[in-house]
Structure 1
């Protein structure tokens, strides 16, 4: 008997979801904060150093410096700046959407120590003699832009001007910003066309006034900036740039458009596949995946997250991973239907039996994402943040949401006997009278004997790894500046670029390099690398020169050797901790042999990715580590689902007498999960290939790493990890004369949601 109330509840839920999502999506998208790589801007990591000999850098000193930088950024009018203190002696500044990056960087790094000196560079007055917050942008009697100041003691200013008058003909009061003892000299600077001092007015009489006017060759904007920086206060320390990256606005806009388009294509392919292959459950998965994307963006805006290019990739990958939970559940339901159970019983049993595999898979991926967040920097943290949110939200939508919606239809009775709605033909369904269990079902892969040919795959893997190691030893890794240090310049042009022409152009502007690579769909992007990390002045210079030639502001990133070494160390720590955490978790949830086999498979995948990158000469940067950790988390999903089925098949046997019986169990388990493995990796590949083919140029190496890792991970889960476990278990059987299997009581279960 059909329960119309549940059908009505299902339709009402769909209407509520649609009426909530459709009108609120655009406002949420407008609230999403874009990172530097999507709207342009720059990021600088400053090393805080003493300004004077003997000065100690304390936490309060660094905090005061961060506050001073915040005040200066307020002068720029930048919305939502990011200023973070790191390691108690570093400050990371991120400013997105800044149009004049050169002026902004100068404004941040200048000491803002104002001083008044005579022509012999003797200090007469400094910033301590000025009233705080009284600097103003103004105009003189000739309507020229000036900055006006107010002295604390007009009598002191009178005494100083009296002394200057007596020094004729050198009766100048020289005004300096950040005068450097032993380096700057008025007499030397006065001979230059662009002197380092602000101005040097002649003083012809004593001035007993508290009002001081600084004039010079200023623009209106420059007087506003100077007044603002003087009011913000001088920095109590010296700031040294040890890492910086700047992204031109055109690069950011193009990257956003291309990557979003690639993501839409990839996600659409997943939706089509799910609807065609799984029919009604697939359509419900499409609904919950749409809710998943909406919730991700909503949560991300609520926590004031900054969306970066890798963050978009994480969101799209999250869709592929979220669908994994649906596939595991739907495959289980189909198995229950095939043994002749009713739709209601199949739904309940499939939902319950799939829960532990879904939970274990999500926990291990979450572990890798958390490690990535802890050890990652800037855009990689954005990727990790999005991945963490994706995992948590996907658990809500794919596990609870999908079961709620499908459960309403199942318990309404409208699907009774309609196995075709679940993507099954009636020929594949056995009668309940035949007494089949799900573990007895035949599969499309029953001819495959994985265990008997395992040594061939061991040999193939060993040969590939040896060749990879040799190639790695010969070619080394093509390390990006993240790890090797140096400078990377990326040029975007409207026309096709030529390597020889770009190399000559760089030589003509005084920055020669032989390391120039042309890329892009129309060969309109040139990437030049330098072993030296450029100074702020060199960065500003090369950006001005290249923008004048090519019409677009280039991207320039610099990494000091110190930061490069730290990134290498953090990458090793991240991989080691993630691997250790996963092996401990798998060992606790299953057994130590499965944990060891899983980690060997993961090391196999990671090394395979590294070897391929070495052979193809692809650049290895910090996003490559993000890709490796993502694959570690994703590959373990496959392995866990396989081990979960092996454990289930083992529990049917009270005693295993020999290796042949164990081989039968392993083969059967692999055949039963192979369809699920193919489907899940296929859905993620849809997104990865779309990002690789249609996404921004800067994310393509990341996408290639993911594709290699996905294929290697699927291969190792089936043909390496499971086979290694078999060999270890085989030794145990040989040693003990058999294996007594104690059926484990499941610690977690899952009932379908009840409405």
Structure 2
């Protein structure tokens, strides 16, 4: 790149950086489009709408309540992937949707039964089932209830016969205007029912009424027999949003119970405003420290890496806003992991450049070959994690899906940052005349360490740590009653609505109220949520006995002067439903299998894949053991933490395996033990620096964050340390053992193999 071109490229990069920074901080237009202040935040960070429904039916069964809760959960996720739905008492269901402030629209949609019926115009004796009311301009049932119509055979299909429903645009045959409609596709059984019903209606010149949520949404005349199992709901002047909502509701299915709304309110952030500002400050400090670290260690390329990282962060925050993603603590985990991978990619590249300079190449050739040789490790590490994110997004739900979305977005942007932006900046700086090798650093020869020879020591350490996990689980189960300290997200508990005499902030509640409640309940996982527009606070804790509830009454009266007659208690279920847990587990298993297959295909050796997956399981088990021993609450962030470790661990392992793969064909004859040791040593600096930079970000978050954020950051730090140890000390030795137990301990190259064949 010529000097003039380099100057232009750097000036343009600076302008883009400033514009992205302005967009990220201020945004554009009166609403601040693109600004990070407009990023949707979850209930834990910003609050939202809380709605409680009660079943109209007396004494609903557990199965009916569970099914209704599950379908409401599916509906709520139309508004936000981070919505929470849980059972309250025996016949109530509470829905909490982050970011929303207007409960009216949500109330109208969420509580709809979602019941769909296709009704014949006349029954078997010729009586009209529905008639047109000229005063209202709508069709109405002709005296019979839906139940009675089902009994006499007038209902030909129901929502259970619908396989899928999609919103689409269609031209009105009469007005020629484009209108929003919902196209239905029937099940195999429904297809036959629909064909029979349309055959009968067509022969008699009758219509079939489509009855949804106690009113007719369409009454089309049947002009032909419909045997392909498709139907269209049109009319009623539906706009696109209404058609989309209707299609989604029909796909999910009707509610098992009819519900009535008994309470709705706007609630504040569970963690308080300080949690958001603290996280932003911690993130900013962490990124500044990383940029300084890169500049000191890698000199000129480090400055380019820091610049590229800054652009990456700006793009990531703008993209979170542009894609309308909801950011929660699990989402922050995805962002942290993607930042770590962005830094890691730059570290891999610049470590390669140093190696090439150390090997005697010119700076220009070193830059070219450094990027080229680093590409495979960066690609494989990111694609492997991207596969996991895609599977999690497709199969999981709730906060796990939100994690997958933020992670996938971050991975794509991190690859762009490292392979495009960073490369442009380094080449531009070189083109400016900064060509001296001293600006780029030279890799110093590192004394090798016999990692493979010492493998028994490392394997023993790992075995001790792994055996300590079930041992600690047994001990904690006997002494604490449970191996893990499950939070409300997983096991439910008691919800206490307390009307205080003054308006407490979340920070004041943490300092003054939480210790009092914790003193009574002996529960360290208390959650408190303010109801906006009043002094009421909802306190969630473990399940309380009648005696403990009396103690809470007394504590509230003695310490805060609360009128105990206004305090209410309710049992609540977990917010992580059984279906959500099962979907997450299924997604993780499939993701691991997909990663194994990808590594196998890319490395053409099942032993690479097997070693990587075993190392991954090792890291997850150690972090799981940390949860057991530390008694940190196991909630929704637990899933995000484990998934973060999964992505980080596999990425670290692939870097070492990529170096082994690269060196194997080039060797004439070298002890395999020496080869593995050399490859680990060559990538040791990268392993240390990459882990250190990611650790710095999370450590700052741990030091500055509120208690719940510290509980989230601590396991991540353990996972990063464990991942670094495993990738350096375990994976290479594990591959060595798998490949060469009982076999020749030397690796012949292709040249040696060809020479042998020619003899």
TM-score interval, smaller chain: 0.5 to 0.7
- 2:303 counterpart (272, 283, 295): 283
CA apart distance, 1:618 = 1.1
**Aligned in 2, Cα 1:33/1:305: closer, same or farther, shift over 3 Å?**
same
Moved more, 583-592 or 26-35: 26-35
Give yes or no for contact 2:486–2:635 (8 Å, CA) kept in 1. yes
Q: Among 284, 287, 294, which residue is 1:274 paired with?
A: 294
Q: How many angstroms apart in 1 are the aligned matches of 2:421 and 2:558?
A: 52
1:545-564 equivalent positions in 2, closer than 5 A: 560=573, 564=577
Aligned pair partner of 2:523 in 515, 519, 525: 515
The reply to whether residue 256 of structure 1 matches residue 276 of structure 2 is yes
Q: Which moved more, 1:630-639 or 1:663-672?
A: 630-639
Q: Is 2:418 the partner of 1:394?
A: no
Contact 1:733 1:739 in 2 (8 A): no
Task: Give the alignment partner of residue 531 of structure 1, picking from 543, 550, 570.
Answer: 543
SS at match of 2:619: helix
Q: 1:394 and 1:488, CA in 2 relative to 1: closer, same or farther beyond 3 A?
A: farther
Alpha-carbon distance, 1:246 to partner: 8.6
TM-score, normalising length: structure 1: 0.65
The answer to whether structure 1 residue 663 and structure 2 residue 678 are counterparts is no
Aligned position for 1:41? 48
Q: Do the aligned partners of 1:245 and 1:557 also contact (CA within 8 Å) in 2?
A: no
Q: Distance in 2 between matches of 1:570 and 1:415?
A: 53
Offset from partner CA, 1:181-229 (integer Å, 9 cap, x none) = xxxxxxxxxxxxxxxxxxxxxxxxxxxxxxxxxxxxxxxxxxxxxxxxx
Q: Tell me, yes or no, if the aligned pair for 1:372 and 1:629 is still in contact at 8 Å.
A: no
**Gap change, CA 1:628 and 1:742, over 3 Å in 2:** farther
Tell me the secondary structure at the aligned position of residue 531 of structure 1: coil
Correspondent of 2:485 among 464, 470, 478: 478
TM-score normalised per structure 2: 0.64
Query: How far has the Cα of 1:739 moved from its partner?
Result: 4.6
Which residue of the partner structure matches residue 719 of structure 2? Answer: 709
1:726 to 719, 736, 742: 736
Which secondary structure does the structure 1 equivalent of 2:44 belong to? helix
CA distance 1:328–1:240, shift in 2 (3 Å) = farther
Residues 350 and 41 (structure 1), Cα distance of their counterparts in 2 relative to 1, 3 Å cut: same
Quote the offset at 1:20 in angstroms.
Answer: 2.1
Map 1:349-388 to 2 at 5 A.
Answer: 349-388=369-408
- Structure 1 CA distance, aligned partners of 2:385 and 2:266? 32
Structure 1 counterpart of 2:332, from 312, 315, 332: 312
Say whether residues 1:595 and 2:603 are aligned partners. no
Written as runs of structure 1 = structure 2, the 5 A alignment for 1:435-474 is: 442-443=445-446, 446-474=447-475
Q: Aligned partners of 1:527, 1:465: CA distance in 2, in Å?
A: 37
Q: 1:49 to 1:663 in 2, by over 3 A?
A: farther
Instruction: For residue 252 of structure 1, report the CA deviation from its aligned partner.
Output: 3.5
Residue 28 (structure 2) pairs with residue 9 (structure 1): no
Gaps of 5+ in 1: 71-78, 112-128, 134-233, 429-440, 507-512, 535-540, 745-755
| In structure 1, C-alpha distance between the alignment counterparts of 2:58 and 2:591, rounded to whole Å | 41
Q: Distance in 1 between matches of 2:73 and 2:574?
A: 24
Tell me the matched-pair count.
Answer: 567
Matched, 1:584 2:584: no
Q: Does 1:415 align with 2:434?
A: yes
Per-residue deviation, residues 246-298 of structure 1 (Å, max 9, x unmatched): 95347442221111111111111111111111111111112211211221122
Residue 640 (structure 1) aligns with: 654
Match of 2:508 in 1: 493
Task: Tell me how far apart the structure 1 counterparts of residues 733 and 692 of structure 2 sit (CA, whole Å).
Answer: 23
Which deviates further from its counterpart, 645-654 or 339-348?
645-654
State the SS of the aligned residue for 1:479: coil
Paired with 1:665 and 1:383, the residues of 2 have a C-alpha distance of 38
Distance change >3 Å, CA 237–CA 298, structure 1 → 2: same
Residues 1:703 and 1:19: Cα distance change in structure 2 (over 3 Å): closer
Provide the rounded CA distance (Å) in 2 between the counterparts of 1:13 and 1:268: 22
Q: Is the 8 A contact 1:516 1:528 kept in 2?
A: no
SS at match of 1:577: helix
Gaps of 5+ in 2: 28-33, 86-91, 114-132, 138-253, 477-482, 498-505, 529-536, 547-552, 753-759
**Aligned partners of 1:310 and 1:699 also within 8 Å:** no
Partner-residue secondary structure (3-state), 2:324: coil
Instruction: Call closer, same or farther: CA 1:422–1:576 in 2, change over 3 Å.
Output: same
Specify whether residues 281 and 500 from structure 1 end up closer, same or farther in structure 2 by C-alpha distance, changes over 3 A only.
closer
Change (3 A) 1:249 1:718: closer
Contact kept? 1:296, 1:390, Cα under 8 Å: yes
CA RMSD of aligned residues (A): 5.0
C-alpha spacing 1:51/1:606, structure 2 compared with 1 (3 Å): same
Alignment partners' CA distance in 2, 1:65 and 1:317: 31
Q: Output the CA distance in 1 between the equivalents of 2:570 and 2:349.
A: 46
C-alpha separation in 1, matches of 2:609 and 2:328? 34
Other-structure match for 2:38: 31
Q: Deviations over 1:598-631 (max 9, x none)?
A: 1111111111111111011111122212111111
> Superposed, which structure 2 residues align to 1:46-85 within 5 Å?
none
User: For residues 394 and 495 of structure 2, what CA distance do their matches in structure 1 show?
Assistant: 25
Instruction: Say whether the 8 Å CA contact 1:482–1:559 is kept in structure 2.
Output: no
**2:225 matched residue in structure 1:** none
Change (3 A) 1:621 1:62: closer
Q: 1:132 to 1:321 in 2, by over 3 A?
A: farther
- C-alpha change, 1:502 and 1:421, in structure 2 (3 Å) is same
